[in-house]
Amino acid sequence: MKIALIGKPKSGKSTVFNALSGLSVSTDKYAPAATEPNICVVPVLDERVSRLSEIYKPQKTIYANIEFRDYPGIFGGQIDSKENTLYNDIKTCEGFALVIRNFADDELDSLIGEVQPLQDFESFEEEMILNDLILAEKRLEKIHLDYKRGVKTPAIQLEEKVLEQICEHLRENKPLRTLELKEEEAKSLKGFAFFSAKPLMVILNSDEDGFGKNEEMIRAFEAKGIMAIEIAGRFEEELAKLEDEEAQMFMEDMGIQSSIKDRLIHQSYLMMGYISFFTVGEDEVRAWTIVKGDNALTAAGKIHSDLARGFIRAECFNYEQILEHGSEKVLKEKGLFRLEGKNYLVQDGEIVHIRFNV
């Protein structure tokens, strides 16, 4: 899973990135925008994987991971061609985390304007919506040109219909996230990547003094259907440099329940609607990521395309059950080993073994 840290210039994206990764990329106030994103891969240290690993004692334990990409602040300004490349890069991410400045800084006030989180959010949405509208309208123009040339297929006609629906929605200033499309309609748009269709969360980057006092603002984002979390970016960047125990002490003082890494991982899963299932054995215990509502066949395909192609049955049991009974042998004796078919909806925390034949 790739999550993009994006937002207006100097909103604290790289500060958040440093807090997450423990790295020290530049957060120079006066540095011009970078041309490339900073990238880190954060393991999802799911306690369930660790416990399963204790039970199976495999040679390898593989956690899921999330790639966070910290982009330069290209929003809220004119788009030039260099930024176009960055836009395309951003679109390869599955979800967006919009970092919004909520810390006082006189110098930044005069450089880029005052703190105004809700307005910053609105103008970001508008920018995304406008970008998508331009993209959709361009494609429609191309389709109409093709019609004049006699190129008209049912597939293109469906695409035209969906694009018109999309333009209408966008012209009402609504993000595509909130437009429901039928499966075949959505399919006809494969190949497009619309900004406003991506899952989005807000990271409200507050200063130490204000942290924890912004409930109302968080609620205001939620009222717009946007998940929002508050962090104290600069403070958490410093924490990432400390030993765990020391960091824990400071966190408690600030009333921070869990590290920014844990919170962002958790929030990313929620935002994407992702869940985990596990495969276990002597060679490997491993976590896999799927979308809630995915069936056993899709889960099999995640592991290997052969497993989906030759799918026979999925043997499943629950994480809690193996913890309670300690071994698969006991689970079998107790009849807790289930055989499920292709259409079975895999649940979060299930251990899955695919029987297949190719």
Ligand X SMILES: Nc1nc2c(ncn2[C@@H]2O[C@H](COP(=O)(O)OP(=O)(O)OP(=O)(O)O)[C@@H](O)[C@H]2O)c(=O)[nH]1
CA 191 from centre of chain: 19
Of residues 14 and 196, the one with the C-beta less far from Mg ion:
14
Instruction: Please state, in angstroms and rounded to a whole number, the distance separating the CA atoms of residues 108 and 8.
Output: 12
Residue 104 CA to residue 348 CA, distance in Å, equals: 41
State which of positions 45-84 bind ligand X (CB under 6 A): 72-73
- The site partner of 15 among ligand X, Mg ion, none (C-beta below 5 to 8 Å per kind) is ligand X
Backbone angles phi, psi at 78, to 5 degrees: -75, 145
User: Which span (141-149, 232-240, 258-266, 299-307) binds ligand X, by CB under 6 A?
Assistant: 232-240
Residue 10's binding partner among Mg ion, ligand X, none (Cβ under 5 to 8 angstroms by kind) is ligand X
Considering only 21, 233, 277, 352, the residue that binds ligand X (CB under 6 A) is 233
Whether the Cβ atoms of residue 233 and residue 16 lie closer than 8 Å to each other: yes
d(CA 289, CA 39): 20
- Between 34 and 336, name the residue whose CB sits nearer to ligand X: 34
Candidates 11-19, 190-198, 286-294, 295-303: pick the segment binding Mg ion (CB under 5 A): 11-19
Look at residues 294, 276, 280 and name the one whose alpha carbon lies nearest to residue 354: 280
Residue 72 token pair:
């330069």
| Residue of the chain from 6, 9, 12, 14 that contacts Mg ion (CB under 5 A) | 14
Decide if 277 contacts 352 (C-beta within 8 A). Answer: yes
Our finding on whether 12 is near ligand X (CB under 6 A) is yes
Q: Which does 11 bind (CB under 5 to 8 A by kind): ligand X, Mg ion, none?
A: ligand X
| Terminal alpha carbon distance of the chain | 29
* Closest distance of CB 9 from ligand X, Å: 4
CB of 263 to ligand X, least distance (A): 15
Compute the distance between CA of residue 96 and CA of residue 181 in angstroms, rounded to an integer.
21
Q: Measured from the CB atom, is 17 or 317 closer to Mg ion? A: 17
The binder of 232, among ligand X, Mg ion, none, by C-beta within 5 to 8 A per type, is ligand X
CB 268 within 8 A of CB 44: no
Binding span for ligand X by CB under 6 A among 9-17, 80-88, 161-169, 220-228: 9-17
CA-nearest of 14, 24, 68 to 42 is: 68
Q: Token pair 């807000």 is at which residue?
A: 202
For every residue of 62-130, DSSP letters joined together read E-EEEEEEE----TTS---HHHHHHHHHHTTSSEEEEEEEES--HHHHHHH----HHHHHHHHHHHHHH
Q: Is 231 exposed, middle or buried (0-12, 13-18, 19+ CB in 10 A)?
A: buried
Shortest spacing between CB 14 and Mg ion, in angstroms: 3
Q: Which residues between 101 and 140 bind ligand X (CB under 6 A)? A: 103, 105
Binding mask 200-229 for ligand X (x = CB under 6 A): -----x-x----------------------
Among 3, 4, 6, 15, contact with ligand X (rule: CB under 6 A) = 15
Q: How far is the CB of 199 from Mg ion (least distance, A)?
A: 22
Count of residues in contact with ligand X, rule CB under 6 A: 19
Closer residue to Mg ion, CB minimum distance, 13 or 263: 13
Q: Would you tell me which residues interact with ligand X (CB under 6 A)?
A: 9-15, 27, 29, 33, 72-73, 103, 105, 205, 207, 232-234
Q: Would you tell me which residues interact with Mg ion (CB under 5 A)?
A: 13-14
